[in-house]
Amino acid sequence: MLLKGLCSSVVNYGIRRGAHYSTATGRESDKQFPLEGIRILDLTRIVAGPYCTMVLGDLGAEVYKIERPFEGDESRKWGPPFMRNSKDSVYFMAANRNKKSVCVNLKTGREVIYELAKKCDVLVENYVPGKLDSLGLGYDTLKSIAPSLVYCSITGFGSEGPYRTKPGYDVIAASMGGLLHITGSENGPPAKVGIAITDIATGLYAHGAILAALLQRHRTGRGQKIDVNLFSTQVACLINVASNYLNAGKEAKRWGTAHESIVPYEAFATKTGYITLGCGSDAQFVSLCRLLGVAELALDDRFANNQTRVVHRKELIAILSDILQRKSSSEWMEIFESASFPVGPINSMKEVFEDRHLRAIGMVKTLPHPTAGEVKLVGPPVVYGEAKNEITSIPPQLGQHTDEVLRSLLGYGDTEMERLRKAKIIQ
């Protein structure tokens, strides 16, 4: 389905669909969004689902974020901090750009959802299995209404198996899927990763699955149901740790910042903080020893190759730690400026966003906000040579686009809008 007027003036605050926040000329200005014309019916909340639909929105899809009237996505309330002069949390800003907020009560407004589903290419939801079926919004129902609809369910444990009805949050999937078992210092307790990495990985798996389903639909003309879940995603992300257990019977353990199979490959304390470095080859280790002023260390039989370095890990790390503590992180980064091995400081958030490379590539975008004045967002990390992938609108206010979408997309007039409001079906 092609969207009419996709590049016409869209919402508010002077933001237009297709607007480019950098100065583009020539070939750059001719780029199109890969998903321009694709409509997404977004029934997701919290992180995994909204992250998935945000990525699709960055690629140009028109995303209709369906929210509970007067309540909205739970993550709007996940603060402090909150946006200035707003009830919306800063947390909500992280995964909801490039969307339109449409408030519909799913319990009483399923007819509205049916009409939207007929107009959309993809539906994404992250309710516990069975919940939307009980509301008449499950896949079997919508398949009969919109046969070409790609219906993606993001859940904690999937639609089959003994855990299928269990609610799932990132930390639970990370716990049960083994991530917490392998995260933390070597002799310390399990540790949670600093962000909801299982949610993010699930959202990315879902986004890729949706694109594949759209490609298949192009060939078959049919939609389909996609099941993506946090638990399976987390197990899939165990990669070599899972392979070690399955094929060598090797139980995993926590290594802190170190690597089980590569030495050195970890964080080291300096005079002023920490740096992380890794030597994935013997040649890189020789280079490290030379830059540290201990070239002879690479000739030691204990450290001659990675296999012997793994065996003599403790001796080598003790030697390297002693040397690296003698200078500041900035001094070491100057010494390692042209190093052949990967190395970098462990940055605070302040240091991350003041990093000269990050600033040079322009990943952080500053956009106008109706109550806070402005909002800063981290843009998409992927750059296309022949297409756009960018922020075109800020995360929406609750119900901001209800009237616009229902009037323009479904053709509802004043009488119908008033009826829906009196019935408390829409906000």
Catalogue the active-site residues.
Answer: 199
Is 126 in a helix, a strand, or coil? coil
Find where tokens 């920490």 sit.
Answer: 274
Taking a C-beta distance cutoff of 8 angstroms, is the pair 98, 391 a contact? yes
The tokens for 116 are: 């939207």
Cβ neighbours of residue 401 closer than 8 Å, sequence gap 6 or more: 11, 64, 100, 101, 102
Task: Give the chain's largest Cα–Cα span.
Answer: 85
DSSP output for 8-74: S--SSTT--TT--SS---GGGGG-B-TTTT-EEEEE--TTHHHHHHHHHHHTT-EEEEEE-TTT--G
Given strand 100-103, what is the order of strands in its sheet?
Answer: 100-103, 62-67, 39-43, 122-125, 150-155, 225-229
What whole-number distance in Å separates Cα of residue 49 and Cα of residue 42? 8
Angle among Cα 351, 355, 358 to the nearest 5 degrees reads 130
Paired with 274 in beta bridges are 269
